[in-house]
Structure 1
Amino acid sequence: MYSLPQSYNQTSKCKRCISSNAYDSISYWEDFSKPKIVWGNLNLTPNYALVENNSFINAPSSMIVPASKYLLAILNSKIADFYIKLLGVTRNGGYFEYKPMFIEQLPIPQLKIENKELAQIERLIDNNNYTEIEYIVYNLYGLTQDEINYINSL
């Protein structure tokens, strides 16, 4: 397992720097132009999204750079959401605050470059087949059928 990249940032920090003309002193400035995984802070369910090159978000949003479809699949999985929600508090109406401090604690299964699951996950994401992705992710974490049934029952 490995940790998520430490390049979580808030676009609000960027806005503050742009307005003060100090943006060229920010070490992560170039990350905003790279592909990234972003998410809203307050959601009922995980809603991580892949943002392509040279695309920007005009609202405060955490981000992970570099982006990968593999990481996107893990983050949007039911097992990841279960784990992350153990770390924080659910707010009124069932909303959970997906803070970077919770997200970065998620253990990510490390794959070898030639791993067949990686290519399969990328293909399934391209085809929006999230049910099949869930079962691949369960397998990557080594869940038993009882554990899978429990997570699916939530």
Structure 2
Amino acid sequence: MTAPRLPALVAQARAETPLGPIVLAATSHGLAGLWFDGQAHHPGPLAAPEDATQPFIAQALAELGAYWRDGRTRFRTPIDAHGTPFQQRVWHALRGIAPGRTTTYGTLAAALGHPSAARAVAAAVGRNPLAIVVPCHRVVGRDGALTGYAGGLGRKRTLLALEAAAEAA
């Protein structure tokens, strides 16, 4: 499966996080990407000017700062992630998983009306272009095992632990 073409980007920015550097990208309609360096499906160099003050990027950076302080943060930054209609449905469903909670690929597939499509859901989850903001890290294997994460299982483990600690507090 090939990655969808990126939309016309108006800005990008690099930022440091506790889990390593990230790149954020925005269109005129919302945040289009947030990738860790070295992440699977990273689009590579982006054709957009560096501008951390672009409104969608600035909002996402502020919300990320709050997230690192308190893993209960829900992201409100408008998003403009481009993918297939099925990927869009999966990514929308991911945004409904509350911080500190997890679900399985099968449960997500059933909620989308495709109970036998767990593998297709997993593929769409893996192509999520908005790490953390669209919380694909909250999806686990049917036995609760930490499976695939484009940013690496160590990051997935850390994100889930941050959220669990915030929920317990």
Q: TM-score scaled by structure 2? A: 0.26
Query: Greater share of helix residues, 1 or 2?
Result: 1
Higher relative CO (Cα under 8 Å, sequence separation at least 6) belongs to 1
Give the number of the structure whose alpha-carbon radius of gyration is greater.
1
TM-score, scaled relative to structure 1 = 0.28
